[in-house]
Structure 1
C-alpha cells in the first residue's frame, strides 16, 4: 500500500474529526492497520493532531475548508471576517472556498445526495435545507465536542458557556446538539418611532386599541398594516404564532407536539378572529398580496404603512433604503382579552442556524470555524456591522447602534423569561408551508376560519401518521 494512500486516508480522517479508534478501524478495513498505526504514533507529537487550547478540535491546519452562507438580511460581511481575520490567522495554509447565496436547498441538496456537502453552512432563508430531515437522516455532525471545547476568547469558559441561556435549545434533536443558532432574534411588530411621536400616538397594548388606531390611520389616508403576501410565513410566525402563545401557551405547545385537534382549539379560533379583522376592515396596504418581503418593507419605509411584522434582521436588510430620522423600533403583538402571557411577552431566541454536515471533508474545520464565529470578537463584529445581537454573551456590551438595536434589547429586558419560539415550522416543513398558505387565503378572504383549521389540522394529522417523518416533542 502506497505512502500516498496512507497519507490521504490519514488526512481525510482527521479532517472529518475521526478519533484514533475510528482511524484504526478504517485502516483495518483497508488493510493499513500497521502503517496507519505507525502514522498515528508519529502524529502524536505533530501539529495536525494537537488538541490543546490552541487547537482543541484537532483541526488539520492545511485542510481545505468549504463555507456556504445564506446571504440575506444580515448580509455576509461577518462571515468573511471569520474567513479572513480569524480562521486564516490560525490556519494560514488552509484554502477556504466561500459562497454567499440564497435558496440553499435547491443549490446544496445535490451536494448532499452526492456525498460532497460543504463543511459549514448557514442554513437560513426561504428555500433552505430541511434541518429536521437532515437530522433524521444522520447528515448533521454532533456538535457536542464543540460545545465542550474552550472558548476562543473568553478565558475559563467552554464554548457553550459563552452562549445566551436557552438560545441553542432549538438545535437539539434527540438529545444531540446538531445545529447552532447565531443571531439573537426578536420578532414582532415594527414601526417608526418618529412617525408615532409626531402624531401623538402610542403603540397599542391591546388588540382593541390596535383596531381603534388602525381605523384612525386608515381614515387619515395611510395603511395601518403592511406585510408580504408572497411570504405569508411572516404574518403566520411573527403575529399569529406569537399571539396564540400569549393567548394560551399550551395551545401552541400542542400544535408543536402534533396533538389531536390542536389546530381546532378555541384559542386558535379566537386569535384568527382577531387577525381576520385586518383583512375584513381593509387595514392592509392595498396590493399587499403580491408584495415580497423587500417590496413590503420598502413600502413601509416610504410611509405607506405603519405596522410591519418582521425580525431583528430588518434594519440591516434595508440599510440602503432607510430614510433619515426614521427610527424603527420593535414591539410585542398586542394583547387579546384573556391572554395568559403579559403584553411584554415576545418571540425571541436563537436564529440563523448553522450546521456542519457529517459527510463534509473537513468536519473538524467546520466546527472550528463556528468556534471562531461564536466568539466575542465575532459577535462584536456582527453587532457593529448589522446592528443586531448575536447569541454570544457580552459581545454587544457598550454599543449604541440606534433605535432598532436599543428597542430589541429593551424588549428582551421587559420580557424577562416570557420569551418563546414555535417549533412546528422547523420540525415539519410541509406542515409549516400548509399553515402559511392557509393563513394567506384566510386573510385575503378566500377561506373561513373553520376551513383554515380543518386544512391545517389535516396536514398535522398527515404528518403525525407518516412513519417516515421523525417526530419531536416539547
Structure 2
C-alpha cells in the first residue's frame, strides 16, 4: 500500500484538486451515451452493500434511482447498515457476496483490510484504463493525482479499490466560542496548553476524543509525528520498521498525551465515550478540541449544540512556531468482490460515481468530497464552510500525506487497536509512554516476522 511519494507530489495532488475545474476540466457525459450503454449488460440485477456512517445513506438511495433511470431494465438492491461488514459476512462465507461494496478501511470488524490481505477483491486496473463515461480520456485521467498509488496494495501496479470520499483530518473547535472569549486558535503546543488553562477557568476541558474508538487520535497523532520526523519517519512506521515508534521525535509526541492526563486537560469520562457521545459533549462546549475528519459537521448535523456553535478546523499544533505543518488526508473506497456474480454492471456503477452531476449529487446528500481532480470545487456549493476550509489549507503551504499501513496477510489482531488502545491506559495513568512504545514495537516485530514468511 505504501509508495515513496514526495512532499512535492502531495502538494500538487491537492492544488490540482482544488483548481482543476477553474481550468475548464469537465466530465459531463452526454445523456445518450449512458442510455445507449445500458442495453449491453446480460445481467441487470445489481446488489450493492454500503456503509451507513458519517456520510449517511440518502446519497446511495438517490444515486440508485438515477442509475436505474439511466440504465433501463436495471434493478439495484441496496443493503445499507452501520455494521455493513457484519451484515454481509454470511453472504461472503456462502460464496455469494454483494456485487459492489463501499466501506471504509477503518470499519470496526477489520474485515475490509482482511479481504485486501487475502486478495478477495477484483482487479480494477482495466476499469481505470477504460474511458470515463462520456469522455475521451481514461477514468484514471480524471482522478486526483497520486490517489491511485494508494489503491494498488500489492506492489504489482494493479488497482483493486476505487477511491471515493477524501477527507482532511485534524482538530475541531467552536469558532463562535473563541470569538466570544477572545481566544486565538493555537499554532504551537505551548499555546495549546496555555489555552487549556484559560478554558479551565471557564469550566471547559481542553480536549476530548472517542475513548471507545481511540483510533480517532490518528487524526492528530500522525500529523504531529510528521511535523517532528518528516514523511520519512511516517513511512518507517507504516512499514513497521524496527525502532520507528520509539525515536526521540515520536516519543516527544506521545508524551503530549501523558501530559494531558497529568494536567487534567482531558474531559472527565472521555475514555468511556463512543464517537457520537464524545462529539455531542464537544458540541455542548464541554471541551475545546476534538480530533476528527472533515466528515464531522455532516455527521452531527442533527445533534443539539451550544447556541451559535460554529465548526472550525485547526491544524495540529507544532512544538516550534516555524515547524512545518502537516495534515493527514484519507480516502474511503469502493470494491468489487472477486466472487461477485455481476462484475460487469458493478464496474459500470463505479464509473457512474465519477460523473460531474453525480459528484454534485453526492455532495448535496452527504457533504462529501470525491477523489477527482475538481472534487472540492464541484462540491463547494454543498459543503459546510469548515469542510471547504479543511480542503483548502494546502493552498497555504500545509503539507498533506496519506497514512496507510503496509498490507500483511490476515492477522488475529488489528494493528490500529495495538497502536491506539493503549492511549486510554496512558490517559488513566496506568501505562507509561515507554511501555506504550514497547508494546507497539513488539507488535511491529510480529508483523515483520509474518511478512518475512510470505516473501
Question: TM-score, with normalisation over the residues of structure 1?
Answer: 0.81
Residue aligning to 1:181: 163
Distance 1:446 1:129 in 2: 27
Call closer, same or farther: CA 1:435–1:83 in 2, change over 3 Å: same
Paired residue for 1:465?
449
Aligned to 1:334: 317
* Match among 222, 242, 249 for residue 260 of structure 1: 242
The within-5 A match list for 1:26-425 is 60=41, 62-85=43-66, 87-124=67-104, 126-153=107-134, 155-174=135-154, 175-235=157-217, 237-249=218-230, 250-321=232-303, 323=305, 325-337=308-320, 342-343=324-325, 345-349=326-330, 351-395=331-375, 396-397=377-378, 399=381, 401-415=383-397, 418-424=399-405
Instruction: Answer whether contact 2:168 2:391 (CA < 8 A) is retained.
Output: no
Name the CA distance, whole Å, in 2 between partners of 1:393 and 1:384: 18
Query: What's 1:15 paired with?
Result: none
Match of 2:11 in 1: none
1:182 aligns to what SS in structure 2?
strand
1:385: how far off? 2.2
Residues 35 and 71, structure 2, Cα contact 8 Å, conserved in 1: no
Evaluate the alpha carbon distance shift between residue 187 and residue 177 of structure 1 in structure 2; reply closer, same or farther with a 3 A threshold: same
Moved more, 373-382 or 204-213: 373-382
Q: Please provide the CA RMSD for this pair.
A: 2.5
- Which residue is equivalent to 1:19? none
How many residue pairs match? The answer is: 413
State the 1:208 CA deviation.
Answer: 0.9
Greater C-alpha Rg = 1
Q: 1:55 to 1:290 in 2, by over 3 A?
A: farther
Q: Is the 8 A contact 1:57 1:149 kept in 2?
A: no
Within 2, Cα distance between the matches of 1:439 and 1:467? 27
Gapped regions of structure 1 (runs ≥ 5): 1-51
Retained in 1: the 8 A contact 2:210–2:271? yes
Q: Is the 8 Å Cα contact of residues 210 and 278 (structure 2) preserved in structure 1?
A: yes
Is 2:432 aligned against 1:448?
Answer: yes
Structure 1 Cα separation of the partners of residues 163 and 300 of structure 2: 22
Structure 1 residue 374: Cα displacement = 2.2
Secondary structure of the residue that 2:86 maps to in structure 1? helix
The alpha-carbon distance between structure 1 residues 194 and 115, as it changes in their structure 2 partners (threshold 3 A), is same
Q: Deviations over 1:169-207 (max 9, x none)?
A: 322122221112211201100011111111111110111
Q: Deviations over 1:238-288 (max 9, x none)?
A: 121221112112222111112112222211211111222112111111100
Distance (Å, rounded) in 1 between the aligned partners of 2:279 and 2:40:
43
Cα distance in 2 for partners of 1:375, 1:393 equals 12
Which moved further from structure 2: 158-167 or 251-260? 158-167
Deviations 1:212-240 (A, max 9, x none): 111111122111112110000011x1121
Which residue is 1:39 aligned to? none
More contact order relative to length (CA 8 Å, sep ≥ 6): 2
Structure 2 residue runs of 5 or longer lacking an equivalent are 1-32
Per-residue displacement from partner, 1:65-95 (whole Å, max 9, x unpaired)? 110100000001222222111x212322122
Are the aligned partners of 1:192 and 1:306 in contact in 2 as well (CA < 8 Å)? yes
> For 2:185, what is the secondary structure of its paired residue?
coil
Cα deviation for residue 409 of structure 1 reads 2.8
Aligned residue in 2 for 1:26:
none
Separation (CA, whole Å) in 1 of partners of 2:225 and 2:38: 42
Give 1:142 deviation, angstroms. 0.8
